[in-house]
Amino acid sequence: MRASEGPFTHGEWLAAAQSRGELTPETVAHIRKWLEQPWYRAARPALEQLLARREVAELTRLFWERIPFGTGGRRGPMADLGSATINPRTIAESAHGLAVYVRQTVKEDALRAAVAFDTRLRSREFAEVTAGVLAAQGFTVFFYPQPRATPQLSFTVRKLGCHCGVMLSASHNPPGDNGFKAYWSHGGQVLAPHDLGIIACVDAAEEIPQLEFDDAVRAGAVVLLDAALDRAYVDAVCALSLAPQSRAIRALYTPLHGVGESSVWAVVRQAGFREAALFEPQRAPDGRFPNVPDHLPNPERTAAWEPAVVAAQAGGFDIVLASDPDADRIAVAARDAAGRFHCLTGNQLSALLCDFVLSQTQGLGRLTPEHYVIQTLVTTPLVAAIARGYGVDVVRELPVGFKHMAAVVEARGPEKFLYATEESLGYMAGDYCRDKDAAIGALWTLELAADLKAGGLTLLDRLRELHRRHGVHVESQVAREFPGPSGQAHIHSLLRRFRETPPASWGPCRWQRVRDYGRREVRSLPDNLVVGTLPLEAGDLLIAEGSADDCAVQLALRPSGTEPKIKFYLFVQAPPDAAVETRLDQCQALRSSLEQALEAWLAESPFRG
């Protein structure tokens, strides 16, 4: 949409557009800054053209916000300019803010950083900008010249003793997105107070020194990494094998056009799974994700890797694995006894791998009460039940994000750490990195599946056994995307509505209390009165608790930290019962009624963006 032309200066037109409600005050403020400040001079010609053409919609898209740091760092749509997009200037600001803050905090002369990038469009370009900015600040930058996995960046920070690291990736987002993930010296993503300190330095960025990438390489300020680090990373993952005797499994793996062949596939091959194969149509590294349905490479969307499942069904494979583009998450589909494939949820695989790790460690005679596993508040309670069943500790009062789980390992020590997991297909183990890794998830999944196959069982059989032992647990996630400034306002309004006027019941479920981590309150329902406090601030997260018959029910809702979405997590839990199938039907029916109630609740506040 174009506003009408007029004889205004750019400043006058911006003021008029704001007064007419065409541009928000925040949008106008960001545009003025880019128009007036000298350090945005490179973008000024393109910006002036947009203003001359009165491109209201495009100006809003580019400047409606200052792109924030969330649970996964800074992530958003790519463009050539704009405060709300990933572009050379916002990448340079991010790198500059990180470099300045590290220099202020560490106070050492010989600073070191690692930089890697994935297969996304412009990732290499943004990685070179990042390296050039860090080098200009006096860092020695260890740079992967080819796309590599996010967990390998975490590994590299730790292996080379770096003070920080940067991964250029937007993980599973659409092809038009990219991102900047900042890592601290322990190999985990940046946490408070460092995140706030970095943001302050980013906001203060004006003129940004930057070395040309090739010049920095010739000067030795940027060091190109070779295959030695690749081998060290793969060795570190393979060293965590728990069942080296179990290799007889036919597996089909797809990297969804991402970096997974260099990490997941390298581990699978080195670990000795000779009956594994790559799914060729989605093998080639390509940031357009051409052979992924809808070009959306999120393995939580089973449609993204359904072509591999179809091929596996026809080809007689036992299991299918799919990693996201930066290979830090892994999804799995497994056959049932009748030969049909079922795509496991992240919660189901979290529970299966937790039981596998604990049972194997126990079988080796190494398990002690001092060992611990970690999960987040929105991950299935079945993980905690399994951990308690083995007599080990479980840390579960954590916000979303592996950076929080990495902080637990740093605080408690890695010696007794066994496993960390999150419902969004993430799994972390060992001491080689401090982030989720598709490679370790793939290794352990294949070992478990091969071990079960040798006994005539499947992953689904083991899941039923866990339900019999600990009670049936059924979960689902519903996400709604609301883009742009009106979408952000709508997400906040939905959270405010649930916080201030929570429902008394949904279908057969009666809500009894709500934990409000944003306000650190526990409130009784339906009166919504404060009855307690919470020790943890976990962002804008609400968890309602209720019951239906003898089943426990939870609903969690929060805004996504990396996408313009609000997410709802449903949990239904029945007590242990030998009649697993009957209980499973009961829980699934209850979940369906809750999903219908959620849809009705959302329909009461339609999005009019």
**Per-residue model confidence as pLDDT tens digits over 510-544:** 999 999 999 999 999 999 999 999 988 778 999 99
CA atoms within 13 A on the CB side of 440: 33
Entry pTM: 0.95
- Give percent of the chain with pLDDT exceeding 70: 98
Q: What is the pLDDT of residue 8?
A: 67
Residue ranges of the chain assigned to CATH 3.30.310: 473-603
Give the confidence band of 470 by pLDDT, cuts at 50, 70, 90: very high
- Residue 1 has what pLDDT? 37
A 10 A CB-CB count for 214 gives 11
The beta strands (E) that lie in 1-108 are given as 69-70, 73-77
For residue 519, the 8-state DSSP code is T
According to CATH, where is 3.40.120.10 located in the chain? 84-225, 234-336, 346-470
Tell me what pLDDT residue 485 has.
83
The candidate with the shortest Cα–Cα distance to 113, out of 55, 164, 76, is 164
CATH class of 234-336: alpha beta
* Structure token digits, residue 149: 């996995």
Tokens of 456: 């005539």
CATH number given to 346-470: 3.40.120.10
DSSP-assigned beta bridge partners for residue 50: none
DSSP 362-384: HHTT---TT-EEEE-TTS-HHHH
Q: Of 161, 159, 112, 115, which is closest to residue 137 (Cα–Cα)?
A: 112
At residue 2, does pLDDT exceed 80?
Answer: no
Read off the pLDDT of residues 86-143 as tens digits, 9 standing for 90 and up: 999 999 999 999 999 999 999 888 999 999 999 999 999 999 999 999 999 999 999 9
225: left (phi over 0), alpha (psi -120 to 50) or beta: beta
Q: Which one is the CATH code of 473-603: 1.10.10, 3.30.310, 1.20.120, 3.60.21?
A: 3.30.310
Fold of 84-225: Alpha-D-Glucose-1,6-Bisphosphate; Chain A, domain 3 (3.40.120)
> How far is Cα 601 from Cα 348, in angstroms, rounded to an integer?
27
pLDDT for the residue 71: 52
pLDDT (mean) for 583-595: 97
pLDDT of 561 reads 79
Strands 330-335 and 319-323: antiparallel
Across the chain, mean pLDDT equals 95
Largest Cα–Cα separation, the chain: 81
3-state secondary structure at position 607: coil
CA distance linking residue 248 with residue 274, whole number of Å: 8
**Long-range CB contacts for residues 535-540, cutoff 8 Å, separation at least 24:** 535/397, 536/397, 536/398, 536/399, 538/377, 538/398, 538/399, 538/400, 539/399, 539/400, 540/495
